[in-house]
Structure 1
Amino acid sequence: MRYHGGLLLGAFDDDGKIIGMSFGYPGFRNGKLYLYSHMAGVVENKKYSNVGYSLKMKQRDLAASMGYDLIAWTFDPFNPLNAYFNISKLGAITRTYIKNFYGVMNDGINRGMRTDRVVAEWWINLQIDRNCEIIDFLNDVDRYSEISTIHESSCLGFYVPPDISYFHKYPDLGSKLKDAAFEVFNALFSKGYAIVAYKRGKSNYFVFKRIENLGKRIFDPIVK
């Protein structure tokens, strides 16, 4: 796998038992070569112990040594743990929202939900300015799918539910929220904005900001 540009990593405990893994292979889209991180996981009793973070940082270091400057993967933007880990802890950004990327999935998390995903872009050699003094919000904290007029500002915010269970409890509202996010996110992405932060606490929200030194988008919002 490594011979052809792929990368398979494992994390092991003191007894030599595997407790985590990541698997990536070369990706190519719209003229850009990158490492696509296809799978990553940690055993249940080792979650929240920085195993996943250590695997991703090792993946980043090895990818750089192999000549990659970008690692990409997809994740559910409405899963707070994933959104925070990928955007705020690792420092990835996203400029692409894809509707129902995986189609129907019947696992415990995705069953009965549309599998909307965003594409994480983890730029290895790029410093990204994420500072925002004032954030203008596009929706209300308790009425997520009710969007104000999409306007331009240095930093924009979009409130999202604090727990993925919202989409199981309120499927109709959840579907409306995903429809709204698809339209709003991609409208902003087309104007040069990227998601640069995910904030959580009393309320959870994404932060959008223009990044001037990224160039055109690599990933399309429509699966082709």
Structure 2
Amino acid sequence: MNEALALPQGLGAIGVREPLPFVGLPTERSAKQLSGSVEDVVKTIANVIDQIILSAIERRTALDFRAFWKEVFPNYARVMFATGTLAKALIPPHALERVISESLCEMEAEFRDNALAAFGSAIRDQGIFTIWTLRKINDLARQLSSGQLSEDEKHKDDEFGWGFIYHGLRTRFNLDCLMASMRHERPIYPEVLEEISDGLRSAVNAYAWIRQCVDLRTKPQEPELPFIALDEEDWEFVNASARDMANESA
């Protein structure tokens, strides 16, 4: 894996607070609850992403798959963030949250029903865990609008945000490869499947990065301890303890 991949030109200023389309893109089923025009836009974008993913799962070796990921990453990132921006602009927040939740549920059901036969138990379980991690990421993302950051914290936020965005995109790309394989009944070569499994591990990295972004905004408050006034008996006990300690050290 090469974490030195840069965001394509024009997307370098994207921060962690931008829409998070890779958490739960509207699926064909969940998109049906949207208005007709929005549903058409979602389907068009989904088709573009699907073509990229279908080309990816045709690779025969891990080396070829990694090279393809590096090649398509800039366009993939553009499409994904365009999706997030459009979703935020066209779908009311409460509806978008519902669509994301239903999309994740649909993906989980797909893995539970079909992944064992398609990939075996290890990949099935890893896929389900990855979707669960995306849910946790979505929960954390709701906390990103709170809290003020200092200049130093803003620099850290940029660093953490880039790590999160990269690993989030990598997670979603590899998860979609498995989804496309099941949906279109196209087998994946074993060497490529191992590479996809490695890519799913980025979900944990993405969670760790966004957790740090949230921690910058939700600093723990030091508890204010009340002042306890000591009476004469308390002071006598304190002084006696001090004398005992002095005698022991003598």
TM superposition score normalised by structure 1 = 0.29
TM-score (structure 2 length as normaliser): 0.27
Structure possessing the higher relative contact order (Cα contacts under 8 Å, 6 or more residues apart): 2
Between Structure 1 and Structure 2, whose CA radius of gyration is higher? 2
More helix by share: 2
More strand by share: 1
